[in-house]
Amino acid sequence: MPIIEFDNLAQLRPLIGTEVAVGEWLEVSQQRIKLFAEATGDQQWIHTDEARAAAESPYGSTIAHGFLTLSLIPHLMAQTLRVHGARLSVNYGLNRVRFTAPVRAGKRIRARVTPLKIEDIPGGTQVTWKVVLEIEGSDKPACVAEMIGRRYE
């Protein structure tokens, strides 16, 4: 899927509440899960021990950390859409996050992106996005989050 591009936020304002982009699939490999576990120190067996997870986990395999899934949102959004016209964009925070289904190692996820709110702030603009991370072949998404970004022109 091509990246959806907007020249500026003015083009995005009429689309508040409307899904504007659906991204490409990204595999959440066991290697990615392992690297995240090493980086964060979260070595819980449900993420790192493939044999034990296959035998004891209700999911039948290792699963991605919820925070790994969440941390992929900026990358998945960058592969999904671009809004030009800012010299700097930063993550400002999250309003609401729910991990609604586990991401089993080897599964693919993608982002569905909807702008919820655009507000002027001193020196820039704040955009609240709804991001739904779908799991390929699943009826339930992995994560639903409201992410807030700040853009400075």
Residue-wise pLDDT tens digits, 130-148: 999 999 999 999 999 999 9
The CATH fold assigned to 4-28+64-152 is Thiol Ester Dehydrase; Chain A (3.10.129)
Mean pLDDT (whole number) for 113-124: 96
Q: Read off the pLDDT band of 153 (50, 70, 90).
A: confident
pLDDT at 22: 96
**CA–CA distance, 105 with 102 (Å, rounded to integer):** 9
**CA–CA distance, 103 with 95 (Å, rounded to integer):** 22
Work out the mean pLDDT of the chain and round it to a whole number: 96
Q: Which residue has the tokens 């995005």?
A: 12
pTM of the prediction? 0.93
Mean pLDDT (whole number) for 3-10: 91
Neighbours of 10 (CB within 10 A): 10
pLDDT at 121: 95
Answer whether 29's CB lies under 8 Å from 62's CB: no
Mean pLDDT (whole number) for 92-97: 96
Q: Please check the confidence at residue 1 and state whether its pLDDT lies above 80.
A: no
